[in-house]
Structure 1
Amino acid sequence: MGLDLEEEKKKLAAKKSRIEAKEKRLKEKERKVRTRRLIELGGLVSKAGIDELDSNALLGALLEIKEKVQEETLKKWQEKGEAAFEKDKVENGEALIVAFGTEPSKEIKGKLKNLGLRWNRFRKEWQGYAQKALVEKELQGLDVKIEAIDG
C-alpha cells in the first residue's frame, strides 16, 4: 500500500511538471504575440509619419483618437488605412517569404537581391518587400514556395 502511494506521488509530480512546462510555453507564446503587436503598432506610427512626435504629443493624439471612436468614424479610418496599405503595396510591393526546396544558384540569388529580397540565415529563407508577380515570374519552374505576409 505504501508503495502504491509513492508511485501515485511520482505520477502526480510528473503530471504537475508537464502542466507547469505547458503553462510556461503558453505564457511565452502570449508574450511573443504581444511583442509582435507592439512592434506592429510602432510600425504603424512610423508609416503614418508621426514617429517624430514626442511621447506626450503622441499619447495625447492617441487618447483623442480613443475618445472619437464611433462606428462611422472607425469605418472611415479603416477605409483610409486600407487605401494607404494598398497604395504602399502597389508602390513598394508586399511582404514576401521565399523558400526553396534546394539551394538556388548564384544567378537566382542575384535576382532575388535585385528584386529587394534579403537572405534570413536563421530562418533559411528569403524575405523582403517585392512585387509577388515579378518574383513568381523570375522563379518560374523552380522548386520554390512564395508566401505573402498580410500586414
Structure 2
Amino acid sequence: MEQRISLITLGVDDLARSREFFEAGLGWTPAQAPEGVVFYQLPGIALALFGRDDLADDAGQVVDGRFSGISIAINERTDADVDATMARVQAAGATIVKPAHKTHWGGYSGYFADLDGHVWEVAHNPFWTINDDGSVTI
C-alpha cells in the first residue's frame, strides 16, 4: 500500500465565512464548490471545508469542542514568507496561537487557529525542499 493522504476535511461552523477566510487569508482558490462543501487542490492532496455538524453526522461522531491533537502545516520557503502568511491570516480573522519564532530544531515557525479553531503551523524548515509545484521533499 502506498503512503499517502488524499484529502483532509475540516468541519466548519459557517461554510461561507470559512471559504472567505481561506480565500482572503491564505489566498487559495477553490477547485470545486458543490453545494455544502468547498474543495481546494493542493500539491498532491486536497483540502475540503464541510459543515461541522454535517461532518460529525457523516463520521458518526459528536462535536465536543476539544483540541484533537492535530495540526495542519504550511511550509514556506523563507522566514519572511512565514511572517507574511501569519500577518495575512491574522488580518483575515485568525487567532495567533504562537507567534512565529526561531525554533530549537533550526527552523522558524508559528501557529494560528482558523475561524473554526483548527490549529495550523506555518513554518520554514531549512532542511526540507519545497519543490516548484509546492510539494515538500523531506
Bigger Cα Rg = 1
Q: Same fold (TM over 0.5)?
A: no
Q: TM-score range by the shorter chain?
A: under 0.3
Determine which structure has the larger strand proportion and give its number.
2
Determine which structure has the larger helix proportion and give its number.
1
Under a length normalisation based on structure 2, what TM-score does the superposition of the two structures give?
0.24
